[in-house]
Structure 1
Amino acid sequence: MISSYVDGNMELFPSTSVLSVPIILCTSLNSCSNLPSDAMGVFKKMKLANEKETSITLVSLLSACTSLLNARLGESIHSQILTHGIELHVGLGTALLQMYAKCAHVEKAFHIFNIMSAKNLRSWTITISALADNGHGEEAISLLSRMEKSGLRPDSLSFSAILSACGHLDLVDKGRDLFRRMTSVHDIRPSMEHYGCMVDLLGRAGKIEEAYQVIMHMPMEPNSVILRSFISACKQHERIVPHINENLKEILHRIEPDIAANYVLAANMSSNQGNWDDADGLQTCIKEKGSKKVFGCSWVQRLI
């Protein structure tokens, strides 16, 4: 669509002495920032015009590859960067490592990160998140330490990724320490996601009471994801705590009164406690309310 306007732009400026073709193409690529497939069309126009890519156009193209998860084209652009000896400055390097990270080519992303002569907060955060999200939790934690030693302060996204990685690695003590450092050292106010990571971390480790205390001391009301995560941990570790479960059921029904999965979860909890009358009542309530089902939630026992 937008790429069809490139020819028109060329006709407006027939002489490159007035305005160079790369500038015209860069302008077109920037206008395609929300339409990555069109940016690819502009790239083809660039190749037909036999114009040498600049770092500005390459950043735009890599961003389009990231949006489209097109690793093959991204690798082609990387090859051109190497062929033409284009400097991998912080903007271009970050765009390249983000493309590899989003396409789950974590080793290549990490390689780009390591060879970049200069890095910014975004470079560190993208790499830490990529490692944490793709099963390299210990490497992500190590990289966070390197980041702090470099003088940069980790941001909220970095800690979300790291805390999640701690949960998958059962690193309870490390997770606690990181959460403490996030608030006391880096002065980052915990978000819903951070609290959710801590509840998941503690729940996986069977520390039910501690996870419950995290929920109860949150400055905001927990969302349904956190509550389901906690209740799932109770079931997994066969820890039925009546007063805790009743409190959570009440909150869950209040924040999402029309979601059928919540009533199913509450009914399962009541059944596990031997409260069959309550379980039957909840099943009746589901039918009477015609409650909506959450996309991705199962009616079976196992949730999350």
Structure 2
Amino acid sequence: MTTPPFSRHLQHLFQRSTTITHLLQIHSIIFKTALDNDPLVIATFISSSFSISIDYARSFFDRLSIPPPLFIWNSMIREYAKSPHPSESVALFSDLRKVGHAPDNFTYPFVLKACARSSMLGEGGIVHCVVLKAGFRSDSYVRNTLLHMYATCGAIEFARRVFDEMPERDVVSWSAMIGGYITCNCPLEAFKVFQQMMAENEKPNSITLVSLLSACTHLGSLRIGESIHSYAIVNALKLDVALGTALVEMYAKCGDIQKAHQIFISMSIKNLQSWTVMISGLADHGRGKDALTLFSCMEMSGLKPDGVSFSAILCACSHLGLVNEGRQYFDRMVSVYKIQPTMEHYGCMVDLFGRAGLVEEAYGVIRCMPMEPNSVILRSFMCACRNHGWVLHVDESLMKLLLAIEPDLGSNYVLAANMSAVSGHWDNVAHLRRTMAQKGLKKVPGCSWVEVNGTMRSEG
């Protein structure tokens, strides 16, 4: 079946539209040619207009001259699920049922993805009930999306129940369950599911391996990460961007920065995340100058750095003590790339100035922040004050704020008591120690995790 010439022309206009003015012109053409009764044209127009103006797409949908068929409702629910307002998908799903439409196996995955993105666990549970009543419990796409929704919302027990009740599981099901355990910070359980997957002769794909490599990164287990890498090589799995980036991050986080760099260089296609992970890895391993060089290479490649990229490079400047370079990167982030600084960026600058002994500048950053500093920034600043003899000038309100943010962390009281002791405020020291005793708080000693004979152990 060939597409009529005018429809092809209209599709061309849809593809080229980028502004509200374009939408108005196309809307006018649709109205004048009586295509506002054509469901396919309506669905295409809605999908095209969503990327330009969500409000316009919704207004067009609400004013349709014909009762929208189910696939147009699905288009709206799908587009909202991908938009910054995914909760609207859930509201539309409710409206869909009120007007008498029966959702199909496309509707449920769209609305469940919206529930996941909005962390709407209760609404997701209601959708689950509707799925069971409507007889879609055996649909693999619906069940995989249900599993993903529960895991994303932190209800890993419900996700596991959905997984265990599946009559058949495909690689998507196994990958979703493994990814769910990673999302809920249960890496050991993820490996158990992987072992079960292999026992049932289900071959993992690159998505499965990306999740498993993330678990290795959490555990700091280089040995397991290397075995996953070997599996990918032996089974000739393509080193795509996601898998390559996951391998780079795993090797960097597990201590083998040379291997991480080798894989990074071997990747034929790199995205912004790939570059950022490599820059961050170099910074963490004390190779700050290499991180700065790589950041410049990334910019020359045509990629536009984002807030995460700047966090990585500011961290590198902090580790190296490159104060001027740190100032320049921060200024470029704001003035050239128009990125609004976040708490993490301000924290990097406080740490940069604090390590370099520029405590007054660090204090100036804290005072000029548009938001209240978090506990990480406050501890970083106070440690800098202690290390560089600026204790007598510490703003006591900052110490009080730290204790208010984390009232049950013993190390905060110890830090505040030490600062007060140096300042000669012994009454405050006694008060802080009494408070610790009353709450039963202690400063937890620092420890490191090391891998011994394939087993992770903590060493004090």
- Under TM normalisation by the shorter chain, which class is it? 0.7 to 0.9
Contact between 1:266 and 1:279, CA under 8 Å: does it hold in 2? no
CA gap 1:53/1:155 in 2 versus in 1, 3 angstroms: same
Q: Which amino acid letter does the alignment assign opposite residue 341 of structure 2?
A: P
After TM superposition, give the deviation of residue 284 of structure 1 in Å: 3.3
Which residue number in structure 1 is paired with residue 431 of structure 2?
Answer: 284
Code of the residue aligned with 1:151 in structure 2: it is G
* Distance in 1 (alpha carbons) for counterparts of 2:299 and 2:403: 42
Of residues 363, 367, 371 in structure 2, which corresponds to 1:216? 367
Secondary structure at the residue paired with 1:32? helix
Aligned pair partner of 1:131 in 265, 279, 282: 282
Q: Distance in 2 between matches of 1:261 and 1:74?
A: 34
Query: Given residue 268 of structure 1, which amino acid in structure 2 is its aligned partner?
Result: N
CA contact (8 A) 1:163 1:178 kept: yes
Residue number among 192, 195, 204 corresponding to 1:38 in the alignment: 192
Indicate the RMSD between aligned Cα atoms, in angstroms. Answer: 3.5
Equivalent residues of 2:171, 2:204 under 8 A apart: no
Distance (whole Å) between structure 2 residues aligned to residue 108 and residue 282 of structure 1: 49
Corresponding residue number in structure 1 for 2:240: 89
* Matched-pair contact (CA < 8 Å) for 2:178–2:208: no
Matched, 1:169 2:320: yes
Give the structure 2 partner of residue 24 of structure 1. 170
1:18-65 residue CA offsets vs partner (Å, 9 max, x unmatched): xxxxx834532332222421343145326xx4x776545544544454
Aligned: 1:268 with 2:268: no
For 1:236, the equivalent position in structure 2 comes to 387
- Structure 1 or 2, whichever has the larger Rg, is 2
1:177-230 superposed Cα distances (whole Å, 9 cap, x missing partner) = 111112222222222222122112111211122111111101112223322322
For 1:221, what is the secondary structure of its paired residue? coil
Query: Are the aligned partners of 1:137 and 1:166 in contact in 2 as well (CA < 8 Å)?
Result: yes
How many residue pairs get matched?
Answer: 279
Contact 1:125 1:155 in 2 (8 A): no
**Structure 1 residues not aligned, in runs of 5+:** 14-22, 299-304
Q: Deviations over 1:224-249 (max 9, x none)?
A: 3322322322222223453x434534
**From 97, 100, 106, the counterpart of 2:257:** 106
With normalisation by structure 2, the TM-score equals 0.52
Paired AA for residue 139 in structure 1: D
Report sequence identity in percent.
Answer: 50
TM-score norm. by structure 1 comes to 0.75
| Residue in 1 that maps onto 2:350 | 199
Deviation at 1:175, TM superposition (A): 0.9
The amino acid of 1:28's aligned partner reads: W
Following superposition, the deviation at residue 172 of structure 1 comes to: 0.6
| Cα pair 1:129 1:161 within 8 Å, conserved | yes
Distance 2:408 2:164 in 1: 53
**Range that drifts further, 201-210 or 257-266:** 257-266
Runs of 5+ consecutive residues of structure 2 not aligned to the other structure: 1-158, 182-188, 447-460
Q: 1:142 aligns with which of 293, 297, 300?
A: 293
Separation in 2, partners of 1:31, 1:181: 42
Residues 296 and 190 of structure 1: CA distance in aligned 2, closer, same or farther (over 3 Å): farther
Judge conservation of contact 1:264–1:282 (CA < 8 Å) in 2. Answer: no
Partner of residue 18, structure 1 = none
Could you say if the C-alpha distance between residues 173 and 296 of structure 1 is closer, same or farther in structure 2, counting changes exceeding 3 Å?
farther
More deviation in 193-202 or 60-69?
Answer: 60-69
Decide which moves more: 282-291 or 179-188: 282-291
| Number of the residue aligned with 2:113 | none
The alpha-carbon deviation at position 90 of structure 1 amounts to: 1.5
Of structures 1 and 2, the one with the larger relative CO (CA 8 A, separation 6+) is 1
For 2:207 and 2:413, the matched residues in 1 are separated by 53
Q: State the match for 1:178 in structure 2.
A: 329
Amino acid at match of 1:167: S
Answer yes or no: is 1:248 the counterpart of 2:248: no
Contact 2:257-2:281 within 8 A present in 1 as well: yes
Whether the 8 Å CA contact 1:59–1:95 is kept in 2: the answer is yes
| Mapped partners of 1:270, 1:294: distance in 2 | 18
